[in-house]
Structure 1
Amino acid sequence: MIGYIITGHGHFASGILSALELIMGKQEDLMTVDFPETDTKTEIENNLKQAISTLSHCDSIVVFCDLLSGTPFNTAIMEAMNNDKIQVVYGTNLGMLMEMVMMRMQKASQEEIVNKAIETGKNGIGKFEVVQDDDDTDW
């Protein structure tokens, strides 16, 4: 099994997990590491290490971060640089996590999951536009 950790600023991690589990149900081997404004860099480092330790029974771990270069991301990449079982993805969104949960259930590899996470994240961003039909006027 591949372990997942979600981390980010404020209560991003626990908030997005709440939405994910509302849609997909309770998740196994998925941890969250929030970074509320009252926490220090040392606290997030300790909390992330604890989550990694909790998932040490997993074959590998993917850490999903809210954004590039923030403290949660920087903390995660430091762990990944010292542990080849860990890969880090940033720009996490709900659609990405839903897809990753399904892929994990299908026994996809860590590399497949990371690559698909990036693709799904990019494809999940867009702008809704109303298309007007020029032939459908009432005048």
Structure 2
Amino acid sequence: MLGVILTGHGSFATGLFEAATQIIGEQTQFNAVNFTDGMSSEQLAEQLNTALKQCDRGQGVICLTDIVGGSPFRLAAMLSYQYNNMEVISGTNLPLLLEILLQREDLDLATIRQETIENGQRAITSLWHEHQKKSPKNEECSDGI
């Protein structure tokens, strides 16, 4: 099974961790590391390294971050260069996280990376777009106009 580490600014990581746990229950090889105000990059790097050791059981680890270029992403990226079995994915949201947690026993790192990016792009929507999916195309107004 692939390990999963969440990281991001403020309480981003623990917020998603708690939401996912509430929805699908307790998970093994799953850890959250917040980058809180006043925390140094060195402290974050140390906590990410600890989380990696806790989550990796040999199949690899996916590190999910909030934004590309932020400290959590950059430090996770640096860590991934030291370990061959680690992927870093940015732009994390709850639907993306749940899909990964539910599929990580059946997929390898490369496959889950590709599917996560594809599914993440499809998961962003709006109420208007959802209504368009349910409305018949080219529907005319009731008065025939």
Q: Read off the aligned partner of 1:73 and give its amino acid letter.
A: F
Q: Give yes or no for the alignment of 1:77 onto 2:77.
A: yes
SS at match of 2:126: coil
TM-score, normalised to structure 1, is: 0.90
> Which position in structure 1 is the counterpart of 2:126?
127
Determine if contact 1:3/1:58 at 8 Å carries over to the other structure: no
Unaligned runs of 5+ in 1: none
* 1:52-131 equivalence runs, <5 A: 52-105=52-105, 107-129=106-128, 130=131
What is the alpha-carbon distance in structure 1 between the residues aligned to residue 59 and residue 108 of structure 2?
10
Give me the identity figure in percent: 27
TM-score, normalised to structure 2, is: 0.87
Unaligned runs of 5+ in 2: none
Determine if contact 2:2/2:56 at 8 Å carries over to the other structure: no
What is the alpha-carbon distance in structure 2 between the residues aligned to residue 121 and residue 40 of structure 1?
30
**Higher helix fraction: Structure 1 or Structure 2?**
2
Determine if contact 1:63/1:87 at 8 Å carries over to the other structure: yes
SS at match of 1:123: helix
Q: Structure 1 stretches (4+) deviating beyond 2 angstroms?
A: 55-58, 130-137
Q: What is the Cα deviation at residue 70 of structure 1?
A: 0.1
> Which position in structure 1 is the counterpart of 2:18?
18
